[in-house]
Chains A and B, each alone.
Chain A
Amino acid sequence: MTRLSRRRVRAIFTKDLREFRRNRSLTVGMGIIPILFSIQPLITVLTLSSSASSALRHEHVLLYMLGIPALVPALVAAYSIVGERQQGTLEPVLTTPVRRDELLLGKALAALVPSVAVAYLVFGFFLACVELFAAPSVAPAVIRVPDLLAQLVFTPLLAGWSIWAAMLISTRANDVRVAQQLAMVASLPSVAVIVLVALNFIPASLVTAAVAAAALLLLNRIGLRLVSATFDRERLITGSK
């Protein structure tokens, strides 16, 4: 396999990050999804009395927050290729020596880094709110070490899978909005699994976590290969073939 150029990956990463930061529709989307995903659990937890905290023992409230890394990167990654195509910037980039995998890796990292950062930040904010404002016995019932570890491990794994799925859609789509909507739909199965685990329909155990992590690692690997195989310069430039 040809060696990838870190410098070119970094150039794509920096450029995309800057583009995302200055694109208002993307920043608004990146802000709204975490609010939607944190507000409901926050209200539930903060309105619970100490006596009702035992009900939380059978739930994993923190895991709801994994919806953020499942959905936020999908929004950004879905934009990354079709967005460039629509604004006519893809062709000049493809005339440079950048290799397909360098371009894809740079773009994936540019979607991953802010999404994971947002997910961890919102999670930290949630924990701080629970610690500071929840009834005394609620915080220990909500904040459990295995759930914290799950959050830490599954945030990048879920984000990675969402990114590859969204980029796969982005290489085939002709419109940014359509790509983003399809990417959101593609992320829903992940969200459904998270909700089932959070509600204890799927038992949260070390085995479940190991299987889920292995499955996500595999999906990430397959995702990269699939996006790489689907990325066809000719079709992206001419719209034909």
Chain B
Amino acid sequence: MSADHLSKRFGGRIAFDDVTFEVGRGEVFGFLGPNGAGKTTTVRALGTLIAPSSGSATVAGIALEPENGVEIRRRISVMPESPGLYLRHSVVENLECFAELYEISEPADRVERALAAVNLADRAHDACGTLSKGLRQRVALARALLNDPEVLFLDEPTSGLDPVAAREVHELIDGLRRRGVTIFLTTHRLEEAERLCDRVAILNTTLRMIGRPDDLRDRLFTKTLSVKVRDPLAEPDRVFAGLPGVDGWRQDGPGGYLLGVSDTNLAAPAAVRALVATGADVLSISEARHSLEDVYLKLIDDEAVGR
């Protein structure tokens, strides 16, 4: 799947602008951004629900053109943020309807498999209106699996779910990844993106950054070693200055030091040797890791400052 300078405007309002990316087969691609950033609109554009204003895209190997809408929709599945189930219908009735819309051969068998995949076989004949939010989300996921999609769009799949239900959804996504399904995941949950996604893109109307979570961290933050010693060093500058791979240091509480490093493998052993040489009791030394949340907040904050 790819998007090339894709934009969508509603009158004078820009939903997303100049979005360019590629997603490989079997990749889990995270699409992050604040509310109103254009994530859902991008999903809707790629899912052929709305037409982009400019730019081009390819979805499941097919050009995103109005005449290809049916063929694209045959090969993809979209799970919108709201499950959108027929609440007066049973779980199995909901799924059977969609199996027919996809013209699936042996629909009963496929429905059974989809229900088994989301552990809902025992609730198959319950009315969807009687299910909890988490279970409805699982039904929606089962519905999205019916046509064995090549590309699966998941729009905030764990929104409003409790941690246990969210973990179950994560496990399902992991399972789909193992089966080689390309997943386009929009989420607010950065720990979810970090855990599940091979690459992430951060969108705020325009694409701010794209890459592997580790690459984004490296691009935005210098690597840091966190050093803790029993007693504060008398002359820390003398200890840390000039060490190979260390660019600078700062105090981080009593007995704590943060070293800015260019190469962890070089800096860590050198720092340990220097500390031991001064007689310091080293309690710990570890690489301080910035989370994807740090990356996200830095990007969004930088943007707010820039305005």
Contact = CB atoms under 8 A, between A and B. Distances in A.
A143 B87 CA distance: 45
Contacts of A233: 49-50
A240 B49 CA distance: 13
A97 to B, nearest CB: 5
A75 to B, nearest CB: 17
Interface in B60-77: 70-71, 73-74, 76-77
**Which bucket holds chain B's interface residue count?**
20 to 34
Interface stretch (B96-104, B250-258, B271-279, B295-303): B96-104
A11 B100 CA distance: 6
B84 interface: yes
B78 interface: yes
A8 B44 contact: no
A158 to B, nearest CB: 29
B103 A8 contact: yes
Nearest to A233: B49
Contacts of B80: 88, 91-92, 95
B50 A234 contact: yes
Contacts, number: 88
B214 interface: no
B51 A7 contact: no
Nearest to A92: B84
A238 to B, nearest CB: 6
Contact of B100 (A7, A19, A95): A7
Nearest to B40: A238
A23 B86 CA distance: 11
Given A7-B100, A15-B97, A87-B87, A238 B73 contact: no
A208 B94 CA distance: 46
B42 to A, nearest CB: 13
Given A18-B89, A18-B93, A5 B44 contact: no
Interface residues of A, number: 31
Interface string A10-27: 111011001100110000
Contact of A5 (B11, B71, B88, B103): B103
A98 B101 contact: yes
Given A7-B100, A92-B80, A97-B73, A19 B88 contact: yes
Contacts of A22: 88-89
Interface in B26-76: 41, 44, 47-51, 70-71, 73-74, 76
Given A7-B103, A8-B101, A95-B78, A241 B89 contact: no
A97 B103 contact: yes
A88 B49 contact: no
A97 B70 contact: yes
8 contacts: A87-B84, A91-B78, A91-B80, A92-B84, A96-B73, A237-B44, A237-B50, A241-B11
Q: Which 5 A-B pairs have the closest CB atoms?
A: A11-B100, A22-B88, A96-B101, A95-B78, A92-B84
